[in-house]
Chain A
Protein backbone atom coordinates (compact mmCIF):
# COMPACT_ATOMS: atom_id res chain seq x y z
CA UNK A 1 0.00 0.00 0.00
CA UNK A 2 0.92 3.66 -0.19
CA UNK A 3 2.98 5.02 2.67
CA UNK A 4 5.08 8.01 3.73
CA UNK A 5 8.07 7.95 6.04
CA UNK A 6 9.45 11.09 7.65
CA UNK A 7 12.57 11.62 9.69
CA UNK A 8 12.02 11.16 13.37
CA UNK A 9 11.60 14.22 15.49
CA UNK A 10 11.69 16.32 17.43
CA UNK A 11 14.10 18.64 15.68
CA UNK A 12 15.51 21.63 17.52
CA UNK A 13 17.50 24.32 15.73
CA UNK A 14 18.74 27.81 16.36
CA UNK A 15 17.32 30.75 14.46
CA UNK A 16 18.85 31.21 10.97
CA UNK A 17 20.00 27.59 10.81
CA UNK A 18 19.49 25.45 7.70
CA UNK A 19 16.61 23.00 7.88
CA UNK A 20 16.12 19.66 6.19
CA UNK A 21 13.28 17.29 7.03
CA UNK A 22 13.53 14.05 5.09
CA UNK A 23 10.52 12.40 3.51
CA UNK A 24 10.37 9.25 1.41
CA UNK A 25 7.35 7.49 -0.02
CA UNK A 26 6.07 4.32 -1.58
CA UNK A 27 3.12 4.46 -3.94
CA UNK A 28 1.50 2.10 -6.40
CA UNK A 29 0.35 4.91 -8.65
CA UNK A 30 1.82 8.25 -9.62
CA UNK A 31 1.35 10.41 -6.53
CA UNK A 32 1.13 14.10 -5.87
CA UNK A 33 3.25 15.10 -2.90
CA UNK A 34 2.55 17.63 -0.19
CA UNK A 35 3.98 19.25 2.89
CA UNK A 36 1.48 20.40 5.50
CA UNK A 37 2.26 22.48 8.58
CA UNK A 38 0.38 22.48 11.87
CA UNK A 39 1.06 25.43 14.14
CA UNK A 40 0.29 25.06 17.85
CA UNK A 41 -3.44 24.96 18.44
CA UNK A 42 -4.32 25.22 14.76
CA UNK A 43 -5.41 22.96 11.93
CA UNK A 44 -3.23 21.76 9.10
CA UNK A 45 -2.28 24.18 6.39
CA UNK A 46 -0.89 23.28 3.00
CA UNK A 47 2.68 24.53 2.84
CA UNK A 48 3.67 23.40 -0.64
CA UNK A 49 3.00 20.74 -3.21
CA UNK A 50 4.41 19.07 -6.32
CA UNK A 51 2.42 17.02 -8.79
CA UNK A 52 5.04 15.47 -11.05
CA UNK A 53 8.65 14.37 -11.07
CA UNK A 54 11.27 17.13 -10.82
CA UNK A 55 8.64 19.72 -9.80
CA UNK A 56 9.79 22.02 -7.03
CA UNK A 57 7.20 23.28 -4.60
CA UNK A 58 8.01 26.44 -2.67
CA UNK A 59 6.35 28.74 -0.17
CA UNK A 60 7.46 31.01 2.68
CA UNK A 61 11.10 30.19 2.00
CA UNK A 62 10.50 26.43 2.18
CA UNK A 63 11.26 24.22 -0.82
CA UNK A 64 10.86 20.57 -1.73
CA UNK A 65 11.65 18.78 -4.99
CA UNK A 66 9.76 15.72 -6.22
CA UNK A 67 12.47 13.10 -6.82
CA UNK A 68 10.98 10.06 -8.50
CA UNK A 69 14.29 8.21 -8.75
CA UNK A 70 14.81 8.31 -4.99
CA UNK A 71 11.07 8.46 -4.09
CA UNK A 72 11.78 11.47 -1.91
CA UNK A 73 10.33 14.90 -1.18
CA UNK A 74 12.65 16.45 1.39
CA UNK A 75 11.68 19.79 2.92
CA UNK A 76 14.35 22.49 3.14
CA UNK A 77 14.68 26.06 4.30
CA UNK A 78 17.85 28.08 4.23
CA UNK A 79 17.29 30.18 7.34
CA UNK A 80 14.62 29.24 9.84
CA UNK A 81 12.80 31.62 12.14
CA UNK A 82 11.22 31.15 15.55
CA UNK A 83 7.82 31.45 13.86
CA UNK A 84 8.57 28.27 11.87
CA UNK A 85 8.17 26.22 15.03
CA UNK A 86 5.39 23.75 14.23
CA UNK A 87 4.72 20.16 13.26
CA UNK A 88 5.39 19.33 9.62
CA UNK A 89 3.66 16.50 7.78
CA UNK A 90 4.68 14.99 4.48
CA UNK A 91 1.79 13.47 2.55
CA UNK A 92 0.85 11.95 -0.77
CA UNK A 93 -2.24 11.35 -2.77
CA UNK A 94 -2.61 9.19 -5.81
CA UNK A 95 -4.23 11.08 -8.64
CA UNK A 96 -6.37 8.25 -9.87
CA UNK A 97 -9.44 7.34 -7.89
CA UNK A 98 -10.11 8.70 -4.42
CA UNK A 99 -8.41 11.79 -3.13
CA UNK A 100 -7.22 10.12 0.04
CA UNK A 101 -4.18 11.68 1.66
CA UNK A 102 -1.62 9.43 3.28
CA UNK A 103 0.38 11.23 5.94
CA UNK A 104 3.78 10.65 7.40
CA UNK A 105 4.12 10.59 11.16
CA UNK A 106 4.94 14.29 11.44
CA UNK A 107 8.12 16.04 12.58
CA UNK A 108 7.99 18.52 15.42
CA UNK A 109 10.29 21.47 14.77
CA UNK A 110 11.34 23.92 17.48
CA UNK A 111 13.39 26.97 16.64
CA UNK A 112 15.20 28.70 19.48
CA UNK A 113 16.07 32.40 19.31
Chain B
Protein backbone atom coordinates (compact mmCIF):
# COMPACT_ATOMS: atom_id res chain seq x y z
CA UNK B 1 0.00 0.00 0.00
CA UNK B 2 0.81 3.73 0.14
CA UNK B 3 1.86 4.23 -3.46
CA UNK B 4 2.59 7.65 -4.88
CA UNK B 5 2.96 8.26 -8.59
CA UNK B 6 4.35 11.18 -10.54
CA UNK B 7 3.77 12.15 -14.12
CA UNK B 8 5.68 12.65 -16.27
CA UNK B 9 8.79 10.79 -15.19
CA UNK B 10 10.90 13.04 -17.37
CA UNK B 11 10.27 16.11 -19.48
CA UNK B 12 12.29 18.36 -21.74
CA UNK B 13 11.02 21.84 -22.43
CA UNK B 14 12.24 25.03 -24.03
CA UNK B 15 13.24 28.05 -22.03
CA UNK B 16 10.28 30.33 -21.36
CA UNK B 17 7.62 27.64 -21.44
CA UNK B 18 5.69 26.21 -18.48
CA UNK B 19 5.67 22.63 -17.31
CA UNK B 20 3.16 20.87 -15.06
CA UNK B 21 4.08 17.88 -12.91
CA UNK B 22 1.41 15.74 -11.28
CA UNK B 23 1.67 13.86 -8.01
CA UNK B 24 -0.98 11.31 -7.11
CA UNK B 25 -1.57 9.14 -4.07
CA UNK B 26 -2.98 5.96 -5.58
CA UNK B 27 -4.38 4.04 -2.65
CA UNK B 28 -4.79 6.53 0.17
CA UNK B 29 -6.00 10.04 0.82
CA UNK B 30 -3.22 12.54 1.32
CA UNK B 31 -4.18 15.62 3.28
CA UNK B 32 -0.64 16.91 2.93
CA UNK B 33 1.75 16.70 0.00
CA UNK B 34 5.29 17.94 -0.20
CA UNK B 35 7.41 19.01 -3.15
CA UNK B 36 11.18 18.61 -3.10
CA UNK B 37 13.97 19.46 -5.46
CA UNK B 38 17.08 17.36 -5.74
CA UNK B 39 20.24 18.51 -7.49
CA UNK B 40 22.73 15.94 -8.80
CA UNK B 41 24.51 14.13 -5.98
CA UNK B 42 22.86 16.35 -3.40
CA UNK B 43 20.15 16.05 -0.83
CA UNK B 44 16.48 16.83 -1.14
CA UNK B 45 15.47 20.43 -0.59
CA UNK B 46 11.90 21.00 0.53
CA UNK B 47 10.25 23.55 -1.73
CA UNK B 48 6.73 23.70 -0.36
CA UNK B 49 4.05 21.98 1.65
CA UNK B 50 0.53 21.79 0.28
CA UNK B 51 -2.63 20.95 2.15
CA UNK B 52 -5.77 19.93 0.32
CA UNK B 53 -8.02 22.90 -0.32
CA UNK B 54 -5.65 25.58 0.91
CA UNK B 55 -2.69 27.58 -0.33
CA UNK B 56 0.72 26.00 -0.31
CA UNK B 57 3.34 27.04 2.22
CA UNK B 58 6.64 27.79 0.52
CA UNK B 59 10.08 27.47 2.07
CA UNK B 60 12.28 30.49 2.32
CA UNK B 61 13.90 31.35 -0.97
CA UNK B 62 11.41 29.49 -3.16
CA UNK B 63 9.54 31.75 -5.59
CA UNK B 64 5.85 31.02 -5.22
CA UNK B 65 5.00 32.78 -8.48
CA UNK B 66 7.45 30.61 -10.36
CA UNK B 67 6.58 27.29 -8.75
CA UNK B 68 2.80 27.13 -8.63
CA UNK B 69 1.37 24.39 -6.46
CA UNK B 70 -2.22 23.25 -6.48
CA UNK B 71 -3.66 20.57 -4.18
CA UNK B 72 -7.21 20.39 -5.45
CA UNK B 73 -8.13 16.95 -4.15
CA UNK B 74 -7.04 14.44 -1.53
CA UNK B 75 -5.21 12.41 -4.15
CA UNK B 76 -3.69 14.97 -6.50
CA UNK B 77 -1.22 17.81 -6.23
CA UNK B 78 0.39 19.60 -9.15
CA UNK B 79 3.57 21.63 -9.48
CA UNK B 80 3.78 24.05 -12.40
CA UNK B 81 7.16 25.51 -13.25
CA UNK B 82 6.33 28.77 -15.01
CA UNK B 83 8.60 30.44 -17.55
CA UNK B 84 11.18 27.74 -17.07
CA UNK B 85 14.87 28.49 -17.44
CA UNK B 86 17.87 26.17 -17.67
CA UNK B 87 18.66 26.73 -13.98
CA UNK B 88 15.29 25.14 -13.17
CA UNK B 89 16.55 21.85 -14.58
CA UNK B 90 16.47 19.42 -11.71
CA UNK B 91 14.87 16.31 -10.25
CA UNK B 92 11.52 17.14 -8.64
CA UNK B 93 10.12 14.72 -6.09
CA UNK B 94 6.78 14.75 -4.34
CA UNK B 95 5.68 12.95 -1.23
CA UNK B 96 2.34 12.43 0.44
CA UNK B 97 1.27 11.94 4.02
CA UNK B 98 -1.87 10.44 5.44
CA UNK B 99 -3.91 12.32 8.04
CA UNK B 100 -2.31 12.43 11.50
CA UNK B 101 0.74 10.53 10.29
CA UNK B 102 4.37 11.62 10.26
CA UNK B 103 5.29 9.10 7.58
CA UNK B 104 5.73 10.37 4.04
CA UNK B 105 5.51 8.24 0.91
CA UNK B 106 7.60 9.38 -2.01
CA UNK B 107 6.94 9.45 -5.69
CA UNK B 108 9.59 8.24 -8.15
CA UNK B 109 10.48 11.77 -9.21
CA UNK B 110 10.34 13.83 -12.39
CA UNK B 111 13.46 14.89 -14.20
CA UNK B 112 13.03 18.29 -15.81
CA UNK B 113 15.48 19.52 -18.43
CA UNK B 114 15.08 23.04 -19.74
CA UNK B 115 16.93 23.78 -22.97
Which residues of A pack against B, CB within 8 Å? Answer: 32, 36, 42-46, 49, 89, 93, 95, 98-106, 108
Question: What bracket does the count of chain B residues touching chain A fall in?
Answer: 20 to 34
Overall SS of chain B's interface: strand
Report if B78 contacts A (CB, 8 A): no
Q: Measured between alpha carbons, how far is A89 from B104 in the docked complex, in Å?
A: 14
State whether A106 touches B49 (Cβ < 8 A). no
Which residues of B pack against A, CB within 8 Å? Answer: 4, 6, 32, 34, 41-44, 46, 49, 93, 95, 97, 101-109
Q: Measured between alpha carbons, how far is A36 from B44 in the docked complex, in Å?
A: 11
Residues of B within 8 A of A108 (CB): 41
State whether A99 touches B104 (Cβ < 8 A). yes
* In the complex, residue of chain B having the shortest beta-carbon distance to the beta carbon of A46: B103
* In the complex, residue of chain B having the shortest beta-carbon distance to the beta carbon of A32: B102
B101 to chain A, nearest CB (A): 8
State whether B108 touches A42 (Cβ < 8 A). yes
